[in-house]
């Protein structure tokens, strides 16, 4: 195999990780900022605020569709070139979203912006992991994912503030500028990697029939859903049950963002130490803190504390990403990309189940109980997968 082209990143992998994390920061900002600009987008495009939810769903659908499609079609594209192309598509999707003058074209453009999301994070994780010793892979992945968690803490609030003062279009134009900057930095700082001549769409698609890959994606789709069940309704929960003032709302999101950053870093260290013990332990932690939110939400201080603890559920991210690297075989790009598609499925599942329970008459804080049940489901999925894995190994030996 040809050696990578010498670059600054070849001497300092942290520069490559910084460039990749900046792309994650832009993606995270784009995904979450619209939630703070719902009414402004609705007013300008002359629709009801609830209808803007179609744009949010459209973006998530783009992630789910784009991850397997791009991974298969771009199987032979060198990773650095693919990352640059994904950032350019992401930039176009966001800049065009800012220029939309009617609602349904805006919804379609949010779908376009979502297409590169899963493939970008998947390929970025593989590039970062390849640059460090094997026992440090999860930490390298977590440093790339810091861009996403930092977007929750800083990017989305700042873009929301800019959108409120300068118009919602400025938020998406800003994200487009971040994406273009990322493309330049990837070209400068990420080492080039030759394409794999044996790669093919068929080989990448083989990940979707590997039992261990499917069980890991199942853990992500179910076990991660609890965090989103709580996060989606955290502000109205604390406002209704703890009497929280509206002015405290941004601080709630900031506390959650701090929790995601801490969870991301701690989860990576646990995964590098012992991956197969880390995943069930993190899921058990998710079950406890999300279930605890149900009891803590009646008082503001305890409620805010548990908001941060629920944010630490992000520890599951680097652990599952690393697990997929171990079980994907030759279909690394597909498996890594599908991890983020699974997270978006978890987002939709958690928010929907919590809404069903709350609309059924349960208190707002019951989102925490929904989260606990989903974490338990993730645990059962993990242990079922491990049982089947050991059983197949035993039969193979026999």
Q: For the chain, give me the number of helices (H) and strands (E)?
A: 19, 0
Among residues 199, 232, 254, the one where a domain terminates is 199
pLDDT, the chain, mean:
88
Let me know whether 131 and 222 are in one domain.
no
Q: Are residues 171 and 210 in the same domain?
A: no
Q: What angle do CA 29, 30, 34 make, to 5 degrees?
A: 100
How many other C-beta atoms lie within 10 A of the C-beta of residue 6? Answer: 10
Predicted TM-score (pTM) of the model is: 0.82
Q: Which of 163, 181, 199 lies at the terminal end of a domain, its last residue?
A: 199
Output the pLDDT for position 6: 40
One domain for residues 313 and 378: yes
- Number of compact structural domains in the chain: 2
**Whether 143 and 249 share a structural domain:** no
Asked if 193 and 213 sit in the same domain, the reply is no
3-state secondary structure of 47: coil
Per-residue pLDDT tens digits of the chain, which is 398 residues long: 333 344 444 457 789 999 999 999 999 999 888 877 877 888 999 988 767 778 887 898 899 899 889 988 888 889 999 999 999 999 999 999 999 999 999 999 999 999 999 999 989 988 998 888 888 888 988 999 999 889 988 998 888 888 888 999 999 999 999 999 999 999 999 988 766 666 667 777 777 778 999 999 999 999 999 998 898 888 889 989 999 887 787 788 789 989 999 999 999 999 999 999 999 999 999 999 999 999 999 999 999 999 999 999 999 999 998 998 888 887 788 877 888 889 888 988 888 898 889 889 999 999 999 999 999 999 999 999 999 988 888 887 77
Q: pLDDT per residue over 71-103, tens digit each?
A: 888 888 899 999 999 999 999 999 999 999 999
Which is nearest to 319 in space by CA: 370, 378, 374, 369?
Answer: 378
**pLDDT value at residue 70:** 92
Same domain, 110 and 233: no
307 and 260: one domain? yes
User: Which domain CATH number covers 224?
Assistant: 1.20.1250.20
Strands (DSSP E) found in 311-358: none
Range of the domain at 278: 204-398
Condensed to tens digits (0 to 9), the pLDDT of residues 22-68 reads 999 999 999 888 877 877 888 999 988 767 778 887 898 899 899 88
Three-state SS for 274? Answer: coil
Same domain, 306 and 185: no
Could you tell me if 47 and 23 lie in one domain? yes
């Amino acid at each position: 195999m040809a050696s990578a082209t010498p670059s600054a990143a070849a001497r300092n992998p942290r520069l490559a990780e910084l460039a990749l994390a900046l792309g994650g920061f832009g993606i995270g900002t784009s995904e979450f900022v619209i939630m703070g600009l719902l009414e402004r987008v609705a007013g300008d495009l002359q629709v009801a605020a609830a209808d803007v939810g179609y744009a949010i769903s459209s973006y998530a659908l783009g992630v789910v569709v784009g991850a397997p499609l791009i991974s298969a079609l771009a199987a032979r594209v060198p990773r650095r070139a693919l990352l640059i192309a994904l950032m350019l598509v992401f930039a176009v999707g966001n800049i065009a979203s800012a220029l939309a003058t009617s609602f349904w074209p805006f919804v379609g453009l949010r779908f376009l912006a979502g297409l590169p999301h899963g493939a970008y994070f998947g390929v970025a994780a593989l590039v970062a992991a390849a640059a460090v010793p094997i026992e440090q892979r999860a930490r390298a992945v977590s440093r790339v994912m810091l861009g996403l968690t930092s977007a929750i803490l800083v990017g989305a609030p700042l873009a929301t503030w800019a959108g409120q003062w300068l118009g919602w279009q400025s938020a998406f134009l800003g994200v487009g500028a971040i994406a273009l900057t990322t493309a330049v930095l990837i070209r400068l700082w990420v080492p080039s990697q030759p394409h794999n001549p044996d790669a093919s769409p068929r080989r990448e698609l083989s990940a979707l029939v590997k039992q261990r890959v499917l069980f890991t994606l199942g853990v992500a789709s179910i076990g991660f859903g609890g965090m989103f069940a709580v996060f989606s309704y955290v502000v109205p929960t604390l406002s209704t049950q703890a009497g929280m003032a509206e002015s405290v709302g941004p601080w709630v999101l900031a506390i959650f963002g701090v929790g995601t950053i801490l969870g991301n870093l701690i989860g990576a260290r646990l995964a590098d130490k012992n991956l197969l013990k880390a995943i069930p332990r993190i899921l058990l932690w998710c079950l406890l803190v999300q279930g605890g939110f149900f009891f803590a939400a009646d008082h503001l201080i305890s409620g805010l504390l548990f908001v941060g603890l629920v944010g630490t559920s992000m520890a599951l991210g680097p652990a599952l990403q690393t697990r997929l690297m171990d079980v994907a075989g030759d279909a690394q790009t597909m498996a890594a990309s599908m991890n983020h598609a699974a997270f978006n499925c978890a987002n939709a599942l958690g928010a929907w189940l919590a809404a069903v329970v709350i609309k059924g008459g349960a208190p707002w804080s019951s989102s925490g109980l929904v989260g606990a049940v989903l974490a338990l489901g993730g645990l059962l999925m993990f242990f079922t997968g491990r049982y089947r894995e050991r059983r197949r190994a035993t039969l193979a030996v026999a």
